[in-house]
Amino acid sequence: MSSHKTIHVGGEWRSALSGATREILDPADAKPFAVIAEGGAEDADAAIAAARAAFDQGPWPRTPVAERAALLRRVAGLLRRDREELGLLESRDAGKTVEEGRVDIDCVADAFVYFADLVAAEGAGRVVDAGTDTVHSVVVHEPVGVCALITPWNYPLLQASWKIAPALAAGNTFVVKPSEITPMTTVALIGLLVEAGLPAGVANIVTGPGHSVGARFAEHPDVDLVSFTGGLVSGTKVAQAAAVGVKKVALELGGKNPNVVFADACATDEGFDTAVDQALNAAFIHSGQVCSAGSRLIIEESVRERFVAELARRAAKIRLGRGTEDGVECGPLVSEQQRAKTEGYVASALEEGAVLVTGGQRPEPSGIRPATGYFYEPTVLDHCHRGMRVVREEVFGPVLTVETFRTEDEAVALANDTEYGLAGAVWTADAGRARRVAGRLRHGTVWINDFHPYLPQAEWGGFGKSGVGRELGPAGLAEYRESKHVYQNLDPRPVRWFAG
């Protein structure tokens, strides 16, 4: 496959029909390292047509569940085989450290295995008691059809796998559009699906921009489901376009996630150290470019001063640099646009009264921080409040805001005072308080004395403007299915409703 043949339609790799290409930049130095096809609406149409034909006439939707599950397990094995290569590619594509990239590949493989196991363990359907021996009634699950999958730039392969694995497990065909900024590992995954023996036309990819490819996916009449992960504005447009065709829609639209720390969690040196360490992880993993990043530290007033001082001290020591270099703890932002956006939020926060404790600027270049890279220092802003844009809106950069509370009720109110509702955490040594607060938080995932872990068998998604639908878990598979009730009368007789 030549470097620019990154569109896969009906089992064939091809260039864009227009011949357009795009350079993919390494965010560590802003230099191109790959060239991809820049597809458009006509490429999207071709991919959807291939997926439609493969669903309506091909073998995959009618392939026995055991065979579908076996293919997903083969894909997981191939991912593990290529872990180092894919981890490095994810690092160069998205700017994260190689170790983060390797962890991502492990999680992708786990997702394929989970959905393989889930469908393989299912029965033939749910028998419904009709109240009589003369009726056999069962609810079965069937694939939705052609699924359009639109994925973000921050976790390219992981987010693609959360959609592709359940879509295939359920027997669907699909078209996928990765972010035009970070498409490389999704392209590689399609190659692994082909290697694993997936029939032609089941998996199709179009690399290209959202305004043409993504928009066409969402509006196309032959698409049955649209699953989108990304920003709120784009997600709203996807939902509006899909609504015209009354398509199934799943949206994961980010979050503004609270990390609530009670003073009793910091009562011991070990507890204090752990809470500070996890607050750093919550905010600064992958330079804060995480939909579930704990970017809002909400801390009890009595420990704020000590906690913020130690947090800032450690944040200032985070080693920034090219993700492929040894010793680097945090890479660059994904693009110049994203860095400029982050700088704009910090500037507005300072104008609105926030206090800069550490960071807030581009770091000095070094051997592992090329001057042309999109680096930005981990930033802590104290004395923040809900009226600030930086507290209300998703920054998607290494910026942590600090708010304080005095009572449990106030902590819960602050944590829930957001139009999003993806994830949040509570830190406390009081088991009763932990359960109470977790129960009151209006967020799709709540961690107690932890931050960021997820399980493929547990649903992921949010309340409010964080989206609709769920990924992972049984509900993540259900998104890609239709339920059908089959009612069989075993002893049919005339009803005689009408006398004649």
What residues contact residue 388 under an 8 Å CB cut-off, 6+ apart?
348, 349, 352, 353, 354, 401
Active site (annotated) includes residue 252 = yes
Find, among 421, 409, 299, the residue nearest to 357 by Cα. Answer: 299
The rounded distance, in Å, linking the Cα atoms of 102 and 79 is: 10
Q: In what order do the strands lie in the sheet with 126-128?
A: 126-128, 135-143, 481-489
Q: How far apart are CA 439 and CA 118, in angstroms?
A: 28
Question: 195 vs 57, 188, 336, CA distance in Å?
Answer: 22, 11, 36
Using only the alpha carbons of the chain, give its radius of gyration: 24
- Identify the CA nearest to 461 among candidates 183, 159, 234: 159
Classify residue 435 by its DSSP letter.
H
Of 42, 46, 40, 35, give the one whose Cα is nearest residue 8. Answer: 46
* Tokens, residue 170: 């359920």
N-terminal to C-terminal alpha carbon distance within the chain: 71
Q: Pick the catalytic residue from 252, 300, 343, 394.
A: 252
Question: Could you tell me if 168 and 189 are in contact, meaning their C-beta atoms sit under 8 angstroms apart?
Answer: no
Looking at the chain, the number of H-run helices and the number of E-run strands are: 15, 20
Looking at the DSSP bridge assignments, the partners of residue 10 are none
Burial grade of 252 (CB within 10 A; 0-12, 13-18, 19 or more): buried
Distance CA 463, CA 466 (A): 6
Give the H/E segment covering residue 7.
strand 7-9
DSSP letters for 367-392 = TTB-TTS-----EEEES--TTSHHHH
Annotated catalytic residues are 252
